[in-house]
Structure 1
Amino acid sequence: MEAAILATDRRFSGASVAAFELCPKLTDEALNDLFSESWPGHQSRSFAPVLSQSLLWVGAFLDRRLVGFVNVAGDRGIHTFILDTTVHPDHRRTGLGLRLLGFAAPEAKARGAQWPHVDYERLLEGFYAGCGFSPTSAGLMNLSQGTV
Structure 2
Amino acid sequence: MTITYEWRGDFDNEALDALHADGFGHPVGRTDGRERLRRHSLGWVCAWEGRSLIGFVNVAWDGGAHAFVLDTVVARHRRGNGVGAALVTRAAEEARAAHCSWLHVDFEEHLRGFYFDACGFRQTAAGLIAL
Counterpart of 1:95 in structure 2 is 82
Structure 1 residue runs without a partner (length 5+)? 1-15, 144-148
Q: What TM-score does the superposition give when structure 1 sets the normalisation length?
A: 0.82
Counterpart of 2:37 in structure 1 is 51
- Is 1:41 the counterpart of 2:26? The answer is yes
Figure out how many residues of one structure are paired with residues of the other and give that number.
128
| From 58, 79, 83, the counterpart of 2:70 | 83
- Is 1:68 the counterpart of 2:55? The answer is yes
Which amino acid in structure 1 is aligned with residue 123 of structure 2? Answer: P
Which amino acid in structure 1 is aligned with residue 121 of structure 2? Answer: F
Structure with higher Rg: it is 1
SS of 2:70's equivalent in the other structure is: strand
What's the % identity of the aligned pairs? 41
Shift of 1:138: 1.5
Structure with larger RCO (C-alpha < 8 A, sep 6+): 2
Structure 2 residue runs without a partner (length 5+)? none
- Higher helix share goes to which structure? 2
Tell me how far apart the structure 1 counterparts of residues 68 and 89 of structure 2 sit (CA, whole Å).
14
Tell me how far apart the structure 1 counterparts of residues 47 and 27 of structure 2 sit (CA, whole Å).
20
- Is 1:19 the counterpart of 2:12? The answer is no
Shift of 1:38: 1.1
Tell me how far apart the structure 2 counterparts of residues 73 and 43 of structure 1 sit (CA, whole Å).
23
Contact 2:18 2:28 in 1 (8 A): no
Alpha-carbon RMSD across the aligned residues, in angstroms, is 1.2
SS of 2:107's equivalent in the other structure is: coil
Shift of 1:104: 1.0
Tell me how far apart the structure 1 counterparts of residues 52 and 34 of structure 2 sit (CA, whole Å).
19
Q: What TM-score does the superposition give when structure 2 sets the normalisation length?
A: 0.92
Shift of 1:49: 3.2
Tell me how far apart the structure 1 counterparts of residues 115 and 24 of structure 2 sit (CA, whole Å).
18
Counterpart of 1:133 in structure 2 is 121
Runs of 4+ in structure 1 off by over 4 angstroms are: none
Tell me how far apart the structure 2 counterparts of residues 140 and 88 of structure 1 sit (CA, whole Å).
28
Tell me how far apart the structure 1 counterparts of residues 112 and 119 of structure 2 sit (CA, whole Å).
10
